[in-house]
């Protein structure tokens, strides 16, 4: 028997990433876009918790132009694993990072003069002409140069021989809500810049403004490329945005029943005794808790077992939650329960969990902890099932190393 640490049995709680659904979502999004509009797949924060390398590989096959990322480490991980597509770092860079970016062909946004000069020097030293994007803040007040101060900066970039202006971009504060007035104001500010650039005969290959919400609901702002994140993963950015039929969630969270208890009337459940049985109850213990990223709720929410809703009882613990299976008599030890996702005709959506958490779907997707291993299903042609071994002490899932 192989008792090597690579081979111990997987924990009976995990996230399941359906790469077949991811592929389908990419195809539907690609098919919805006009041919001339490029698709940037946003894979920051481990592809919203789905595993950036697995997602990147599928997205390359489905014709994504490149990837949007947030940190240098995220980008280096993809480069090290052999992803050669453009990688655009969306946030702001420290000067010390610029050398790495230039050396590994990571594209950065330069939004202030100091970084323009520093990057130009580094590029010249490397004998490269480095493509850059400029992020223009048109009202979001986050990263980027103000729209009414952008022109001199862009002219400086164009004047640097070792840099090439590949992209100009902006980001909407409000794109997935019914109210589009502010988005349209932001776009008008962005267009002022584009017009000024045209007048100066400064050409830009990639003008981009849209996240998922903009892609869905602001087609007049698509320009040359859209930056799609959450929709790739099958979650619509809001309830009111346009829907593309067939897009489905890629991530599920599952656990197996690890204990069953019988309660007599008057008996209590969990820390703080927040639930008291009014009648005889049968409950299942699922080995997943707030230490895995499930919201710290009491007597709220449910899990799916045998395609039926089993309500949560009491307060959830770090490593366990308790559900009522009195009405699911067929439920047995080690049966599979769905914490987030679909089972039979029932579904617990990412939005349902977001409500329990008083937060947004983005936060739910990225909050599942790495001790829930990622199991990728419908992976590639072979349709194999793999379990990504996660090293909880490191930011890098082992699947990434194993595949590199
Ligand atoms: C995260 C991000 C996106 C993707 O947003 P979604 O709403 O997930 O599609 C696009 N652009 C920028 C600048 C981002 O930071």
Q: Where are the domains of the chain?
A: 19-233, 257-368
CA-231 nearest atom, ligand 1? 9
Distance from the CA of 376 to the center of ligand 1, in angstroms?
24
pLDDT confidence bin for 392, thresholds 50/70/90 = very low
- Active-site residue flag, 271: yes
Q: Mean pLDDT over residues 155-171, rounded? A: 98
How far is it, in rounded angstroms, from Cα 308 to Cα 322?
15
**Higher per-residue confidence, 349 vs 398:** 349
Say if residue 332's pLDDT is above 70: yes
pLDDT tens, residue by residue, 273-306: 999 999 999 999 999 999 999 999 999 999 999 9
- Ligand 1 atom closest to the CA of 169, numbered from 1: 13
Residue 7's pLDDT band (boundaries 50, 70, 90)?
confident
C-alpha distances in Å from residue 62, one per residue of 29, 44, 45, 194, 205: 10, 18, 21, 30, 21
pLDDT at 2: 84
Q: What is the mean pLDDT of residues 204-228?
A: 98
Please give the pLDDT value at position 394.
Answer: 39
Ligand 1 atom with the smallest distance to the CA of 212 is 9
What is the model's pLDDT at position 379? Answer: 81
Question: Which residue out of 205, 233, 271, 275 is catalytically annotated?
Answer: 271
Pocket probe mutation, ligand 1, options 41, 42, 354, max atoms within 8 Å of Cβ: 42
Asked if residue 52 has pLDDT above 60, the reply is yes
Separation between Cα atoms, residue 157 and residue 164, nearest integer Å: 7
State what percent of residues in the chain have pLDDT above 90.
90
CA-CA distance, 267 to 276, in Å (whole number)?
6
The predicted pLDDT at position 6 comes to 77
Q: What is the pLDDT of residue 380?
A: 67
Q: Which residue has the tokens 């009976």?
A: 12
Specify the CATH class of 19-233 in words.
alpha beta
Q: Which of 32, 66, 68 to mutate to test the pocket of ligand 1 (most atoms within 8 A of CB)?
A: 68
Please tell me the distance between residue 173's alpha carbon and the centre of ligand 1 in angstroms.
11
Residue with CA closest to ligand 1 atom 6: 229
Residue 213 CA, closest ligand 1 atom number: 7
Q: Which residues of 231-243 are buried (b: 16+ CB within 10 A; e: fewer)?
A: bbbbbbbbeebee
For residue 223, pLDDT beyond 60: yes
Catalytic residue among 21, 35, 44, 396: 44
From 227, 228, 361, 362, the mutation candidate for ligand 1 (largest count of ligand atoms within 8 A of CB) is 227
The partner residues of 248 in beta bridges, in order of sequence, read none
Q: Token pair for residue 254? A: 């599952």
- Nearest CA, atom 15, ligand 1: 90
- Ligand 1 centroid–CA 402 distance in Å is 29
Of the pLDDT bands very low, low, confident and very high (cuts 50, 70, 90), residue 145 is: very high
Per residue in 90-118, pLDDT tens?
Answer: 999 999 999 999 999 999 999 999 999 99
- Please provide the average confidence, as pLDDT, over all residues in the chain: 93
111 C-alpha to ligand 1 centroid (Å): 18
Bridge partners of 228? 41
Mean pLDDT along residues 164-174? 97
Relative to the CA of 40, which ligand 1 atom is closest? Answer: 10
For 118-135, write each residue's pLDDT tens digit. 999 999 999 999 999 999
pLDDT digits (tens, 9 = 90+) for 189-199: 999 999 999 99
Helix (H) or strand (E) holding 22: helix 19-32
- pLDDT higher than 90, residue 388: no
The DSSP element (H or E) to which 88 belongs, if any, is strand 87-89
Residue 395 — pLDDT band, cuts 50, 70, 90? very low
Ligand 1 centroid – CA 229 distance (Å): 6
CA distance 272 to 275: 9
Domain spanning 257-368 has what CATH number?
Answer: 2.40.37.10
384 alpha carbon to ligand 1 midpoint, in Å?
31
* Cβ(210)–Cβ(226) below 8 Å: yes
Write out pLDDT tens, residues 170-207: 999 998 899 999 999 999 999 999 999 999 999 999 99
Distance from residue 26's CA to the centre of ligand 1 (Å): 16
Residues having CB closer than 6 A to ligand 1 are 42, 44, 68, 90, 171, 211-213, 227-231, 237
Instruction: State yes or no: is 44 an active-site residue.
Output: yes
pTM score of the predicted model? 0.93
230 CA closest ligand 1 atom index: 8
Q: pLDDT-based confidence at 42, cuts 50/70/90?
A: very high
């Amino acid at each position: 028997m192989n008792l090597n640490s690579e081979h111990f049995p997987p924990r009976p709680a995990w996230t399941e990433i359906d790469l077949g659904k991811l592929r389908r979502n990419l195809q539907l999004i690609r098919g919805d876009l006009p041919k001339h509009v490029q698709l940037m797949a946003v894979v920051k924060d481990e592809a919203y918790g789905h595993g950036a390398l697995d997602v990147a590989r599928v997205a390359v096959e489905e014709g994504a132009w490149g990837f949007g990322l947030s940190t240098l480490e995220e980008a280096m991980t993809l480069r090290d694993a052999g992803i050669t597509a453009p990688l655009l770092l969306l946030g702001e860079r420290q000067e010390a990072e610029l050398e790495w970016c230039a050396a590994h062909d990571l594209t950065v946004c330069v939004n202030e003069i100091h970084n323009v000069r520093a990057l130009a020097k580094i590029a010249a030293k490397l004998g490269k002409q480095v493509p850059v994007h400029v992020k223009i803040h048109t009202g979001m007040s986050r990263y980027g140069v103000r729209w009414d101060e952008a022109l001199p900066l862009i002219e400086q970039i164009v004047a640097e021989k070792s840099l090439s202006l590949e992209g100009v971009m902006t980001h909407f504060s409000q794109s997935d809500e019914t109210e589009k007035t502010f988005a349209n104001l932001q776009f008008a500010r962005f267009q002022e810049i584009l017009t000024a650039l045209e007048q100066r005969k400064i050409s830009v290959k990639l003008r981009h403004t849209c996240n998922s919400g903009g892609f869905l609901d602001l087609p007049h702002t698509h320009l040359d490329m859209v930056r799609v994140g959450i929709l790739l993963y099958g979650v619509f950015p809001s309830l009111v945005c346009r829907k593309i039929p067939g897009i489905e969630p890629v991530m599920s969270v599952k656990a197996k029943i690890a204990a069953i208890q019988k309660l007599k009337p008057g008996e209590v459940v969990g820390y703080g005794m927040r639930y008291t049985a009014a009648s005889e109850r049968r409950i299942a213990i699922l080995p997943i808790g707030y230490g895995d990223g499930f919201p710290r709720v009491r007597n709220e929410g449910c899990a799916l077992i045998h395609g039926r809703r089993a309500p949560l009882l009491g307060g959830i613990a770090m490593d366990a939650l308790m559900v009522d299976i009195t009405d699911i008599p067929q439920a047995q030890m080690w049966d599979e329960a769905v914490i987030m996702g679909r089972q039979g005709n029932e579904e617990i959506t990412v939005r349902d969990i977001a409500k329990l958490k008083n937060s947004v779907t983005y936060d739910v997707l990225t909050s599942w902890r790495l001790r829930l291993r990622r199991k990728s299903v419908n992976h590639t042609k072979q349709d194999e099932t793999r379990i990504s071994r996660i090293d909880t002490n490191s930011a890098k899932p082992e699947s990434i190393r194993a595949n590199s």
